[in-house]
C-alpha cells in the first residue's frame, strides 16, 4: 500500500467502539469473562481448555497483581470492525447453516472449531456460545494494539487466532485478530507504518502469513514444529525469518534459537510495534505441539521477547494463542508476574506510578469514526 492509500484509509476509517481512551488507573491488560466458552460440556470435546483465560485472571488476582477495577474490559468486535480484514462472503459463511428438513446445521463453525457436535446446534446458539466469545477476544486484541502504542506494552489474555486469514478459518481460529490489530493501527494511529509479528506458538501462523504475503510493511518471524498442522507451504513464503523445529525440541536449543532470531529480526527491521503470539502449546506433554519445553522455559522465552522490545523502546502487544494442557493457565500467569518482577511491564497503573512512568510511545488516534489441529 502506498503512503497516499494509507492516508486515505486513515481518513475513511469506520466508526468503532474498540478505540477509546482508557483511564490511566487501568493496566494495559485486556480481558472479559465473555472470553470463556462453556456450552453443555461440548467445549470439552476439543483438547483446548476453553476456560483458560479466566483461570489466568484468577491466578493474577490471587497474587494481587490485578483486580477487576484495574484491567481493561474487552469489547466485542462488530461486523464493521471485522470487515476491515474479512470478506463479507467469509463472515456470511459463519452465519449460514445447512438446512435439512426443519433443522439448521452449523457446518462451517463445526469445521473451524473441530467440535463435530456443533454441526447439530442451531446457528443462533453457535453465535452466542462459540462465536461471540471469539469476537470478544478479537476485539480485545484490537484494543490491546492501541493500548500498546499508548503505554509501551499490552497483553490480551486471549486472542492469537493465527490460523485464520481474511477468507478462511481453521484450527479453532474463526477471526483474524492479529491481522485486524495491525490493520487498525495502520489505518488509525499516526506513526505506525511497520509491524513485526513474532509467532512462537508451536504451530505455523499461516493465517496472518497469508494476509500479509505481499505487504512489505509487515515482517514475520515464525518458530514452529515443522511436522505438525498446518504445513502451509504457500503461506510460508510470507515468513521473513523461519525457524523450523524438530519433534521434542528442549529448552536449551529452543531458547538459544529464540534469542538469536528475535535479536536478528529486530536488528534487521525496526518496527513501530511488535505483535507477539505467545502460544504455550510448546509445553512438554502438549497433545498437539510435539515440543518439550518446560514451564520455566516458557517464562524465560517471554522474558527474552519483552526484554528485546524494551531495550529498543518498541511497543509490544502479547496474545496468548494455543496451549492445550490444564496447567498452561498457571504458566501464563507466572510469566506475566515474572515480566513485572523483571521490570519489563509496570505492575501499577500509570496514575499510581507517578512521574517515573513513561510510555514508550504515545499514539495519536484518529477519532473512532476429530483430528484436532490447533491455535
Q: Which residues are catalytic?
A: 163
Measured distance between the N- and C-terminal CA atoms of the chain, rounded to whole angstroms: 29
Nearest Cα neighbor of 321 from 103, 56, 98 is 56
Torsion on CA atoms 208, 213, 215, 219, rounded to nearest 10: 60
C-alpha cell recorded at residue 232: 502451509
Q: How many residues does the chain have?
A: 375
Contact (CB, 8 A) for 162 and 375: yes
Contact (CB, 8 A) for 340 and 306: no
CA–chain centroid gap for 324, Å, is 16
Nearest Cα neighbor of 330 from 63, 46, 5 is 63
Contacts of 58 (CB under 8 A, 6+ apart): none
Q: How many Å apart are CA 375 and CA 107, to the nearest integer?
A: 19
Classify 266 as helix, strand or coil: helix
Contact (CB, 8 A) for 307 and 344: yes
Q: How many Å apart are CA 116 and CA 126, to the nearest integer?
A: 12
Query: What is the DSSP code (8-state) at residue 126?
Result: H
C-alpha cell recorded at residue 196: 513485526
Q: Which residue has the cell 523461519?
A: 242
Amino acid at each position: 500500500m502506498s503512503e497516499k492509500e494509507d492516508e486515505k484509509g486513515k481518513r475513511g476509517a469506520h466508526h468503532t467502539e474498540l478505540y477509546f481512551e482508557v483511564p490511566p488507573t487501568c493496566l494495559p491488560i485486556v480481558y472479559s469473562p465473555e472470553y470463556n466458552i462453556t456450552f453443555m460440556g461440548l467445549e470439552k470435546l476439543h483438547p483446548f481448555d476453553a476456560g483458560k483465560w479466566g483461570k489466568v485472571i484468577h491466578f493474577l488476582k490471587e497474587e494481587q497483581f490485578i483486580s477487576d477495577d484495574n484491567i481493561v474490559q474487552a469489547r466485542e468486535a462488530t461486523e464493521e470492525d471485522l470487515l476491515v480484514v474479512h470478506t463479507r462472503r467469509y463472515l456470511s459463511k459463519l452465519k449460514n447453516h445447512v438446512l435439512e428438513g426443519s433443522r439448521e446445521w452449523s457446518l462451517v463453525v463445526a469445521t473451524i472449531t473441530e467440535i463435530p457436535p456443533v454441526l447439530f446446534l442451531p446457528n443462533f446458539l453457535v453465535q452466542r456460545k462459540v462465536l461471540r466469545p471469539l469476537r470478544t477476544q478479537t476485539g480485545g486484541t484490537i484494543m490491546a494494539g492501541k493500548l500498546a502504542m499508548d503505554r509501551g506494552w499490552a497483553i490480551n489474555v486471549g486472542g492469537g487466532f493465527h490460523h485464520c486469514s481474511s477468507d478462511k478459518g481453521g484450527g479453532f481460529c474463526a477471526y483474524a485478530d492479529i491481522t485486524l490489530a495491525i490493520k487498525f493501527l495502520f489505518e488509525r494511529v499516526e506513526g505506525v507504518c511497520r509491524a513485526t509479528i513474532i509467532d512462537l506458538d508451536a504451530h505455523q501462523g499461516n493465517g496472518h502469513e497469508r494476509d500479509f504475503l505481499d505487504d512489505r510493511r509487515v515482517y514475520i518471524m515464525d518458530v514452529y514444529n515443522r511436522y505438525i498442522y498446518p504445513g502451509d507451504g504457500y503461506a510460508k513464503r510470507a515468513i521473513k525469518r523461519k525457524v523450523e523445529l524438530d519433534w521434542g525440541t528442549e529448552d536449551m536449543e529452543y531458547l538459544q534459537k529464540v534469542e538469536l532470531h528475535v535479536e536478528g529480526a529486530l536488528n534487521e527491521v525496526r518496527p513501530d510495534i511488535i505483535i507477539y503470539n505467545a502460544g504455550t502449546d510448546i509445553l512438554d506433554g502438549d497433545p498437539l505441539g510435539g515440543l518439550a519445553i518446560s514451564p520455566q522455559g516458557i517464562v524465560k522465552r517471554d522474558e527474552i521477547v519483552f526484554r528485546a522490545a524494551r531495550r529498543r523502546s518498541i511497543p509490544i502487544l502479547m496474545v496468548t494463542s494455543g496451549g492445550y494442557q490444564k496447567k498452561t493457565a498457571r504458566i501464563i500467569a507466572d510469566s506475566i508476574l515474572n515480566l513485572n518482577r523483571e521490570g519489563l511491564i509496570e505492575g501499577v497503573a500509570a496514575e499510581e506510578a507517578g512521574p517515573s512512568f513513561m510510555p514508550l510511545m504515545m499514539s495519536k488516534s484518529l477519532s473512532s469514526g476429530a483430528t484436532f489441529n490447533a491455535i
